[in-house]
Amino acid sequence: MSASSLTDSLSAELVRELSFTGTATTAVIAPFTGAVLHELPMSSAADVADAAAAARAAQVAWRASGFTHRRAVLLKAHDLLLERKDELLDILQTESGKTRGQAFEEIFQAATVTRYYAVSAKSVLKTRRRRAGIPVVITTRVSYKPKGLVGVITPWNYPIALSIMDVVPALAAGNAVVQKADNQGALSILASRRAFIEAGVPTSLWAVVAGDGTEIGNAVVDAADYVCFTGSTATGVSVGERAMSTLTGTSLELGGKNALIVLDDVVPAKAAADAVYSVFSSMGQLCVSIERIYVDRRVSDAFTSAFVARVEELSQGSALDYSTDVGSLTSAAQRDRVQKHVDDAVHKGATILAGGRARPDLGPYFFEPTVLSGVTPTMDCFAHETFGPVVAIAVVDGETEAIAAANASEFGLNASIFSGSVARARRVADLIDAGSVNINEGYRASFSSTDAPMGGMKQSGLGRRNGPEGILRFAEARTVAESTGLITLPRTGAEFATMTGLMIATLKTLKALRRR
């Protein structure tokens, strides 16, 4: 499917599913060609308000439908996502510039997350008894209610996966959603949303808007009872501040400058092959991709040589099949940012070991996978996120120095340890300041572990998606405790005088029995 055929067959149909009332549009560019993919309608703040009101109305019946109904709907959507895999892959590639294989990772993740929350929502959110302060005298239960309307703000780089990872648990918990899609990822989101609508999710329950980031993003934050944001740290801080002004909860997955440690007991060639994918998947336009490699001096020459050789063997192109290893950057802004970081590093003394230049012969936003050495703190790419196909390799003397270097960052999203000893790698992983740490993998081990929480430390964000934590953020915990009437709790000084001894004896007994 070409960019033009995608436009002719799907774009006009899909964009009508956006919430918009005006006539303003913006051109969305196809990364592989630089041609206009389609004209995307722009929503207004009033459109967001209308969508939010309709979503709230639909949420009443959706919540009342219960877990069993929601489970059936989501499992049907899971099947439709897989049935429409090829169409979704075409749209993803055409809209993002990534390879077929890396687009498939999104579909795989979306289906996995959908199945997980369809099956697990009821067990995670069911009412449970909790131990009372005074057993037998008091009973306590904790139940969960959906927060209501969830605002989801997603970026362009992983439009389907990052959308589903927030939207589906919100729906599974009984909420409604208003989602602001990045313009460059709107078609992918709308195409995947269609599977859920056809599976039985009410159309107005999950509204999608697009438009100016400040106007529409702020409107979504203001309308929501809880906000999920994925994007840059600077914008995430602004979102968090705006939400906090009304005490609206947030989860924020923000930037990263992710480190990979290569210990001295690896097989260099295998470690290099695995590391290359962790750096250049989706052209490095992935919040958890690796941008810093610290390799032990005893294996540094062998690892670096193998790494560079592997990079130079990568097949780069725009095919809508599995014949390429790396694709294109998504926009001119991305290409210019990458070029600026490389030029700055070289000007200040870094060495290019591979890549380092744009490839206009392949397409307007193509850039070679680039490997640098000799990167110093004076260079832009040393501490700032490049978010592109650039990695810096540095040599360290031992794991202590490697750990210190990996942790010397304001970010703490993802990290990786490569070692011939899993026990050793686990010990090192425990010392890394990151929300996710992968052993002998770059990011996919943790990213695909849907039952485990994912999120950042330090400037990489707040809150967690995935796992029970990923759905609990969309529910309000409510405690209901009751007196059994077996004993009347003291109300007067005289009653306290009578019962204090019994209450102290109860405390001592509970301690002796090692009861909580």
List the structure tokens of 319. Answer: 């095919």
Which long-range contacts does 347-350 make (Cβ < 8 Å, 24+ apart)? 348/376, 348/378, 348/379, 349/374, 349/376, 350/374, 350/375, 350/376, 350/379, 350/392
Which residue is catalytic, options 95, 105, 106, 253?
253
On the 0-12 / 13-18 / 19+ scale of CB atoms within 10 A, 244 is exposed
Quote the CA–CA distance of 125 and 335 in Å, as a whole number. Answer: 44
Asked if residue 295 lies in contact with residue 400, where contact means CB atoms within 8 angstroms, the answer is: no
The answer for residues whose C-beta is within 8 angstroms of residue 207's C-beta and 6 or more apart is: 19, 51, 52, 54, 55, 177, 178, 179
Asked if residue 12 lies in contact with residue 36, where contact means CB atoms within 8 angstroms, the answer is: no
Quote the CA–CA distance of 92 and 320 in Å, as a whole number. Answer: 10
Q: Minimal CA–CA distance to 328: which of 361, 363, 376, 377? A: 363
Q: Minimal CA–CA distance to 402: which of 374, 361, 382, 431? A: 431
Q: Minimal CA–CA distance to 293: which of 314, 316, 317, 272? A: 272
Query: What count of Cα atoms within 13 Å lies in the side-chain half-sphere of residue 169?
Result: 29
Name the phi and psi angles at 144, rounded to 5. Answer: -130, 140
Q: Is 469 a catalytic residue?
A: no
Which residue is catalytic, options 287, 381, 385, 399?
287
Quote the CA–CA distance of 140 and 24 in Å, as a whole number. Answer: 55
Quote the CA–CA distance of 458 and 438 in Å, as a whole number. Answer: 18
Reduced to 3 states (helix: H, G, I; strand: E, B; else coil), residue 140 is strand
Q: Is 228 a catalytic residue?
A: no
CA 393 to chain centre: 26
Asked if residue 420 lies in contact with residue 259, where contact means CB atoms within 8 angstroms, the answer is: no
List the structure tokens of 131. Answer: 């131990």
Asked if residue 287 lies in contact with residue 253, where contact means CB atoms within 8 angstroms, the answer is: yes
Quote the CA–CA distance of 155 and 140 in Å, as a whole number. Answer: 42
What residues act catalytically?
A: 253, 287
